[in-house]
Amino acid sequence: MTADVWLPIPPDEIEGLPEGPAYRHWNGEETFPADPADCAYYVVPYMKPSGIGTRPLPEMRSVQVVQTLSAGIDHVEPGLRHLPEGVQLCNARGVHEASTAELTLTLILASLRGVPDFVRAQDRGEWLGGFRPALADRRVLIVGYGSIGAAIEDRLVPFEVAPVVRVARSARTTARGPVHPLTELPALLPEADVVVLSTPLTEATRGLVDAEFLARMKDGALLVNVARGPVVDTKALLTELESGRITAALDVTDPEPLPPGHPLWQAPGVLVSPHTGGPTSAFLPRAKRLLVDQLSRFVNREPLRNVILTTGA
């Protein structure tokens, strides 16, 4: 096999890549490493500004696989219309679950226990005592129960939360209990102390968290977004935050990056982290293992993992 494979990680830094393809390193630079028309397997650069990863797609006339290193594929979807039929789009399931779930738990605990207030008080040299909410006994609602949602629940269980409530696009049963369909959200929201968003960004979830959604959340509830910024209507969220009725912890925002002076920075009761769910020390080892496995399957003409869609299907 002599087809080109484009990798955002230098190929000599990935142990175990199968022999056969011509590996090209491209991580979003202005100049392409080779003719995009010869690329058969394209691994999209990770955490690049909008439009970088889709730039070579119109010229990739021979591509068979587009592989993201992110769980979401929304940043790639606009470029798929340029591809021939039969191209498989694969995501990075298995790469980000641990890091994203870890951050989710961090945001919940930091928000409930008032850690940002403690940091500000430390800067002032002030001893800020008093009672704070605990995570124990809280009812957590996870909206988006894929592999990341399940990993979040794995980490919540040891904290003695009330039974976790799970919501996904459609109903199903898991070993831990039922997953409710999105249509049941209105009835579930008023009972949740913490609402975690870990759903993909699709046309069905864009703006899902609107004024009506937020109004159904109970007084004092915490909204945690580790999904995508546009899942939440920022204007509606600001209205609720400024009223003091709910609080929020946001790893993703709309717009993103959040520009200086944006009202979310100063809104009461909000903790903002700069989209750090995935990029941790856990990313590279897991990403490399995924690529070795996927490319070995590709070279040996075995079924790929994590296929999200096939163009033209």
Q: What's the CA gap between 199 and 225, in Å, rounded?
A: 9
- pLDDT for the residue 165: 98
| Structural domains of the chain, with CATH | 4-95+281-310 (3.40.50.720), 97-272 (3.40.50.720)
Question: Which stretches of the chain drop beneath a pLDDT of 70?
Answer: 1-2
Q: What's the CA gap between 55 and 28, in Å, rounded?
A: 9
65, 66, 81, 310 from 39: Cα distances, Å = 9, 10, 17, 17
115, 117, 118, 127, 140 from 124: Cα distances, Å = 14, 11, 10, 9, 33
Q: What's the CA gap between 154 and 80, in Å, rounded?
A: 34
- pLDDT for the residue 152: 98
- pLDDT for the residue 2: 66
Catalytic residues: 275
Task: Give, rounded to a whole angstrom, the gap between the first and last alpha carbons of the chain.
Answer: 26
pTM, whole model, 2 decimals? 0.93
Q: What's the CA gap between 152 and 107, in Å, rounded?
A: 12
Residues contacting residue 301 through CB under 8 Å, at least 6 positions apart:
none
Residues 95-127 pLDDT 10s: 999 999 999 999 999 999 999 999 999 999 999
- pLDDT for the residue 263: 98
Q: What's the CA gap between 21 and 150, in Å, rounded?
A: 36
